[in-house]
Amino acid sequence: MGGDAYTFKFLGLMFNWTNLISGLVIFVLVFCLLYGLSRKLQMKPKGAQNLMEWMIDFTNGIVRGQMPANEAPHYNFMAFVLFVFILIANEFGLIFQFGWGGHELLRSPTADPIITMTLALVIMTLTHFAGVARHGFVGYLKTYCTPYTAMLPINLFEEFSNFLTLGLRLFGNIYAGELLLKLLAQMAFSHGIPTMIVSLPLEVVWQGFSFFIGGVQAYVFVTLTTVYISSKVSTEE
Amino acid sequence: MGAIAAGIAAAGAAIGAGIGNGVVIGSTIEGTARQPELGGSLRGTMFLGVGLVEAMPIISIVIAFLVMNK
């Protein structure tokens, strides 16, 4: 089932084998999946290419729905990669949970707050970058004072709380799902056959629900990313 | 004490998530009844709304799990 996190110290900083190994496995998995789906491209798509085009169309629709039309194509690719990575990362821990020697080696990397907060930090930095690219540095700082200068603390606090909830929402959903799976498994093995019969359907139902939640959270993360970028990039007319 | 704290946190999370999701999904049902042609778009927005509304109750549940055994 797994154990606790497997950390090691390197040059005075704590690193986490679990995140490194799980992340690496998911990178390789996503790359193989997307590479395999995009071979033998034809004008009239069939099969694998159809699936790939449907996924890209889905994330293009998310971006197109939130951003002004001239800025949207810049962020299509980022939204697609973000969506596929977070989706596969969320669902990975429902299928593979691997521990060895009391340490946890394979699970969803998004079940760790460090990973999700890092993703949120990258996205928020991207929004700042997009805002500065659009308005110039001084112009971007001035947008924090619109419409009144008194709104400055509110705007700053909104920045901070957007970042915090973006990261913690993904972490909370995936971590609570995996933890409840572990608790149900503990309950199943606690008293022999009767508890196993009771908790097996519960575990199946909860796995299905967690699968659904993983997809919803990936969708919400990508949509909020495009909403935050578009709020910095679009000017009120 | 940890178990009581976890129970209170979980109760708050359940009430908050239940009422919040209920309002969002109820509005979606009402909107779909008024304009069925917008059904697909409203459904997508509903999932977005549910994902956003459930952020706070989920964090509360994680806190409940953290203090459960203390």
Residue (of A45, A111, A37, A112) closest to A80 by Cα position: A37
The torsion region of residue A2 among left (phi > 0), alpha (psi -120 to 50) and beta comes to left
Rounded to whole angstroms, the Cα distance separating A184 from A193 reads: 14
Q: Phi, psi (5° rounding) for residue A144?
A: -75, -15
State the pLDDT at residue A191. Answer: 84
Q: Sign of torsion, CA B58 A174 B40 A228?
A: positive
Question: Do residue A171 and residue B52 have CB atoms under 8 angstroms apart?
Answer: no
Look over chain A and give the mean of its residue pLDDT values, rounded to a whole number.
88
Residue A122 confidence (pLDDT) above 60: yes
3-state secondary structure of A199: helix
Rounded to whole angstroms, the Cα distance separating B36 from A222 reads: 27
| Nearest CB neighbour to B58, from listed A173, A219, A224 | A173
The residues, ordered by sequence, that sit 6+ positions from B30 with a Cβ below 8 Å of its Cβ are none
Give the H/E segment covering residue A99.
strand A98-100
For residue A86, give how far its alpha carbon lies from the nearest alpha carbon of chain B (Å). 15
3-state secondary structure of A70: coil
Residue A211 confidence (pLDDT) above 80: yes
Tell me the domain boundaries of chain B: 1-68
State the pLDDT at residue A208. Answer: 94
State the pLDDT at residue A3. Answer: 59
State the pLDDT at residue A1. Answer: 45
- A90 and B CB contact within 8 Å: no
- Chain B contacts of A217, Cβ < 8 Å? 51
- Of the options 1.10.645.10, 1.10.8.60, 1.50.10.20, 1.20.20.10, the CATH number for the domain spanning B1-68: 1.20.20.10
Assigned token pair, A34: 């997307």
CA distances from A133 to A66, A137, A144, A234 (A): 19, 8, 15, 12
Rounded to whole angstroms, the Cα distance separating A168 from A120 reads: 9
Q: Tell me which of A69 and B18 has the higher pLDDT.
A: B18
Question: Do residue A175 and residue B62 have CB atoms under 8 angstroms apart?
Answer: yes
For residue A40, give how far its alpha carbon lies from the nearest alpha carbon of chain B (Å). 32
Q: What is the mean pLDDT of residues A3-10?
A: 71
Residue (of A236, A229, A237, A234) closest to A63 by Cα position: A229
Residue (of A162, A158, A159) closest to A224 by Cα position: A162
Question: Do residue A172 and residue B55 have CB atoms under 8 angstroms apart?
Answer: yes
The ipTM of this complex is 0.82
